[in-house]
Structure 1
Amino acid sequence: MAHSPIEHCTLQGAASVRLHGRDGAHCTALLYGGQVVSWCDAHGRELLYLSPQSRLDGSAAVRGGIPVVFPQFAAQGPLQRHGFVRTKHWQLEPSDGRQNDRITLVWHHTQADHAEWPHDCRVQLHVQLLDQALQLELDVKNTGTSPLPFCAALHTYLATADAASTLLHGLRTDGQAQHFAEPIDHLQFDQTQPMQLVTPQHTLRIAQEGFADAVVWNPGAGHGLGDLPPDGYRHFVCVEAAQLRPVVLAAGARWRGSQTLRALSLA
Structure 2
Amino acid sequence: MHELDREKSIHSPGLYAVWNAKPFLLENAIKMQKLRERKEYDYVFWNDAGSFREDNVYTDWPDGERVQRIWEEGSRATGTSQEELIFFPMYWKPPADAKGWTEGAGPVDSDISEGSFFGGTPKAVTWFSRTLYSYHDYYISLGFFAGKDQNLYNAVIFLFPSRFITVWHGDPDSPAQGGMPPNALMRGRLGACGPEWYYYQWWLSDKHSREEMRKYWMEHDREPSEAKWWKIRRIPCRMALLRGMEDVLKSTFGNDWTPPARTIGLRPTRMW
Indicate whether the TM-score tops 0.5.
no
Q: TM-score range by the shorter chain?
A: under 0.3
Answer 1 or 2: which has greater strand percent: 1
Higher relative contact order (CA 8 A, sep 6+): 2
Provide the TM-score with structure 2 as the length reference: 0.26
